[in-house]
Every structure is written in structure tokens, then in C-alpha cells.
């Protein structure tokens, strides 16, 4: 698969992610794919962060995105009008950007490195400004703690 088609796949997957059209992403995910999303102490606070191995675990992770959004927690890492920048390097696509400040919550930077093989996503590693992500989560649930 060409670098350009890898970038196109990831742009489309990102668009589907932030618009909640998760079912349209699943055909592009390898059965043994791995998502590593903002690991660290924030994993204790939300099902949105951590390591998700295999298509079934990744599907459950996408479903948890919907539940957190409905509960007033954080939204996707970027907005449909600003999906960020995309750079293709062989099998990898690097996407990066920031989530604008809103509702008293500061701007949040993020970067994701995706790996695509044979037209399937095999890995997504997303790193966010987890302190800002926690502030956003806490606005949705004031009792939230990392302990």
C-alpha cells in the first residue's frame, strides 16, 4: 500500500472516530491490532486510556468513547473541523494537532502514530496532554480522582 493511501485511510479513520461513526472504522482494523492510548496514571480515571489488544478489545474501547461523551466527560482528541496534520512515512502515519481551549479547560496537544499493513490498521499509539484530559474528565465528574 502506498504512503498516500495509508494517509487517506488514517484521515478517514480519524474523521469517523471524532464523528462517532466507529462501525465504519472496524473493517480497516486488523484482528490482532493494538491501540495504546495515553497510558499512565490517567488510566485509573477512565476507560479511554490504556492498551487495547485485538479487534474485540478495540471495538469495546470505541464503545467506551460514546459512553464517556454521553456522561459529560471528554470528547474526542480533535474536532471534525480540525482533524490535525498527517504525515506518511512508509507504513506509518503520524497525525498531530491540538484540541482548542473551551469551557475553562486549556488547550490540549496530541500526537498519534498509526501503522498500516496490507490496508489494515495494525497499531495506533496516541499520546495526549493527559493533565488537560484529566481536567476535562473532572468537569464531567467532579468526584473523579487518580487514587
Report if residue 147 sits inside a domain: no
Cell numbers linked to 121: 490498521
How many structural domains are present in the chain? 1
C-alpha to C-alpha distance for 86 and 80, rounded to whole angstroms: 14
Could you report the per-residue pLDDT of 34-76, keeping only the tens digit for each?
999 876 655 555 667 789 999 999 999 888 877 665 445 455 5
Report if residue 110 sits inside a domain: yes
What is the model's pLDDT at position 143?
A: 75
Is residue 146 predicted with pLDDT exceeding 80?
A: no
C-alpha to C-alpha distance for 105 and 43, rounded to whole angstroms: 20
Q: Find the CATH number of the domain harbouring 21.
A: 3.10.450.50
**DSSP H helical ranges for the chain:** 3-18, 55-70, 130-140
What is the model's pLDDT at position 132?
A: 61
Report if residue 145 sits inside a domain: no
C-alpha to C-alpha distance for 105 and 46, rounded to whole angstroms: 18
Report if residue 53 sits inside a domain: yes
Could you report the per-residue pLDDT of 86-130, keeping only the tens digit for each?
999 999 999 998 876 666 665 678 889 999 999 999 999 988 766
Report if residue 14 sits inside a domain: yes
Q: Tell if the pTM clears 0.85, that is, is over it.
A: no
How far CA 69 is from CA of 41, 56, 72, in Å, comes to 20, 20, 5
C-alpha to C-alpha distance for 101 and 48, rounded to whole angstroms: 20
Strands 120-128 and 85-89, bridge-based pairing: unpaired
Q: Are 122 and 33 in contact (CB under 8 A)?
A: yes
C-alpha to C-alpha distance for 129 and 99, rounded to whole angstroms: 10
What is the model's pLDDT at position 38?
A: 78
Q: Domain limits at 136?
A: 3-140
Amino acid at each position: 500500500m502506498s504512503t498516500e493511501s495509508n494517509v487517506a485511510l488514517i484521515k478517514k479513520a480519524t474523521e469517523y472516530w471524532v464523528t462517532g461513526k466507529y462501525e465504519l472504522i472496524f473493517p480497516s482494523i486488523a484482528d490482532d491490532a493494538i491501540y495504546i492510548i495515553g497510558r499512565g496514571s490517567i488510566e485509573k480515571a477512565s476507560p479511554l486510556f490504556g492498551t487495547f489488544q485485538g479487534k474485540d478489545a478495540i471495538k469495546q474501547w470505541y464503545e467506551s468513547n460514546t459512553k464517556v461523551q454521553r456522561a459529560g466527560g471528554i470528547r474526542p482528541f480533535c474536532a471534525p473541523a480540525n482533524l490535525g496534520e498527517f504525515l506518511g512515512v512508509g507504513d506509518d502515519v503520524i497525525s498531530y494537532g491540538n484540541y482548542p481551549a473551551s469551557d475553562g479547560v486549556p488547550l490540549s496537544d496530541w500526537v498519534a502514530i498509526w501503522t498500516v499493513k496490507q490496508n489494515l490498521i495494525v497499531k495506533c499509539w496516541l499520546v495526549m496532554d493527559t493533565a488537560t484530559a484529566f481536567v476535562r474528565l473532572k468537569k464531567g465528574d467532579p468526584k473523579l480522582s487518580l487514587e
